[in-house]
Every structure is written in C-alpha cells, then in structure tokens.
C-alpha cells in the first residue's frame, strides 16, 4: 500500500518522454515538459520509476533538453532499497532541412548516472528519425531513435532503441504504441511493449495512460501515467 500511495503522489510531479520527441526540434522560444510515473509488478517488491523530461528551443536549429530518471526497488536478496537513475543534459541538432517530410536529428548528451556502486559520469550519442503521415482517419507520426551510452567505470557501452507510432488528429482519445529495447554492457537484451492512449484534443496539455509489458531477464508488467505540456 505504501508503494501505491507514493506512486499516486508522484503522478503529477515526475516525468516521461514522448515517443516522437527525438526527431523534431522545438521552435525558438517554445518549450515542452513531460512528467510521468510507472509502477511495475506484480511482485512483493514493486518498482517505481519517475521521470522528468523537458525541451526548449534555444535557437531555430538547436534544442536544449534535460532528462531526469529515478527508479526505486527492493533487492529481494538483501532486503534493502536500491535506487538507480540518471540526469542528462542534451543538445539536439537537425540533419535534414525543415521542408523534408522525413526528419533526421542528432542528439549529444552529458550527465551523471546512479547505480548500486555509486555515481559516475556518462555521455550519450543518439540518432533519431521521424516522419508524419496523413490517412483517412487523420494524421499521425512515427519515430525511431538509437542511442549509445558510455558510463565511466563500466566495461562496455549501453545501447538503446526507442520507437513509436501515434495519432495527432485532434480527437479526444488517440492511440499510441511504443517499443523500447536496451542492452547494458554484456547483459541480455531487455525490451518493452507499451500501448497507450493520449487524452486531450491537442491543446497545451495532454494526459497519457499506458500499460507496459516488459520482456527479458526481468519480465513484468507496469502501469504508466504521464502529463505532456507545451509552453
């Protein structure tokens, strides 16, 4: 019950990343903030993940962003709380003209990561591609982003692939599907499938409700609730 209460309190405060963010830049002077919480189980020791993600259009061809992630779980062997996460500041630049329907972008990040063994520096390099589409049922988007991370003191690199597809047709309820995969150093691949619903008519605030199914070394199911705000 305590974990569930903390989850409900964190819903409106902590963050998640929109699937289509990586390939598009923010207009100069405009910003975006996403907050979310994910509760994973079912086990006697559920995991709570909180995230804050923000972007700001610093210049026409340069977007500045920050990605904060925090996970809390319980080590079932030692029965102690384990906290992991990261804080990353990143810059995104376009690789294609704005007139292109398919967008490519490059993202460079620097920050710190928190593991069981302590805190360490990290850097990341990501390549993103995104494309909008029009169909009889309305418009939408699809995106793919591949990321390589280097963590100081860790042998090998981490690899991540995030993809998504969703509608942006102005209706109150719009479906979205995300697929996320990662591999940390020589560990087995872990991946998640996340169907979700965007709630809101495309104004400044959108709610996102999703269900995560995780596969790999630590399979499980999670519930995600996020808020997206533009300003």
At residue 14, φ and ψ (nearest 5 deg) are: -125, 165
Q: Across residues 155-174, what is the average pLDDT?
A: 88
Residue 65: pLDDT over 90 = yes
Q: What pLDDT does residue 41 have?
A: 76
pLDDT, tens only, 14-64: 334 454 567 899 999 999 999 999 998 766 667 889 999 999 999 999 999
Residue 224: pLDDT over 50 = yes
Residue 13: pLDDT over 50 = no
pLDDT band at 107 (very low <50, low <70, confident <90, very high): very high
The conformational region for residue 29 under phi > 0 = left, psi -120 to 50 = alpha, else beta, is: left
Return d(Cα 100, Cα 168) in angstroms, integer. Answer: 19
CATH topology of domain 2-230: Porin (2.40.160)
Q: Across residues 82-109, what is the average pLDDT?
A: 93
* Domain segments of the chain as ranges: 2-230
pTM (predicted TM-score)? 0.84
Radius of gyration of the chain (CA): 18
Of 4-18, 24-38, 179-193, give the lowest mean pLDDT range.
4-18
Measured over the CA atoms of residue 134, residue 29, residue 160 and residue 178, the dihedral's sign is negative
Higher-confidence residue of 110 and 201: namely: 110
């Amino acid at each position: 019950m305590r974990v569930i209460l903390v989850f409900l309190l964190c819903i409106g405060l902590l963050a998640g990343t929109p699937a289509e963010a990586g390939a598009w830049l923010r207009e100069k002077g405009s910003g975006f903030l996403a907050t979310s919480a994910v509760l994973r189980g079912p086990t006697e020791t559920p995991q709570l993940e909180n995230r804050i993600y923000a972007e700001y259009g610093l210049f026409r061809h340069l977007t500045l962003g920050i990605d904060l992630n925090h996970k809390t779980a319980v080590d079932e062997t030692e029965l102690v709380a384990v906290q992991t996460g990261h804080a990353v500041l990143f810059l995104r630049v376009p690789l294609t003209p704005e007139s292109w329907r398919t967008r490519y972008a490059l993202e460079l990040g620097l920050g710190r990561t928190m593991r069981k063994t302590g805190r360490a520096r990290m850097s990341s390099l990501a390549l993103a591609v995104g494309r909008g589409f029009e169909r009889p049922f309305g418009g939408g988007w699809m995106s793919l982003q591949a990321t390589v991370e280097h963590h100081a003191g860790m042998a090998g690199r981490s690899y991540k692939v995030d993809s998504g597809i969703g509608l942006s047709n102005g209706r109150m309820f719009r479906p979205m599907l995300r697929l996320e995969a990662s591999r940390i150093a020589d560990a087995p691949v872990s991946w998640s499938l996340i169907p979700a619903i965007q709630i809101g008519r495309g104004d400044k605030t959108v709610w996102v409700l999703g269900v995560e199914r995780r596969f790999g070394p630590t399979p499980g199911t999670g519930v995600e609730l996020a808020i997206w705000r533009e300003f």
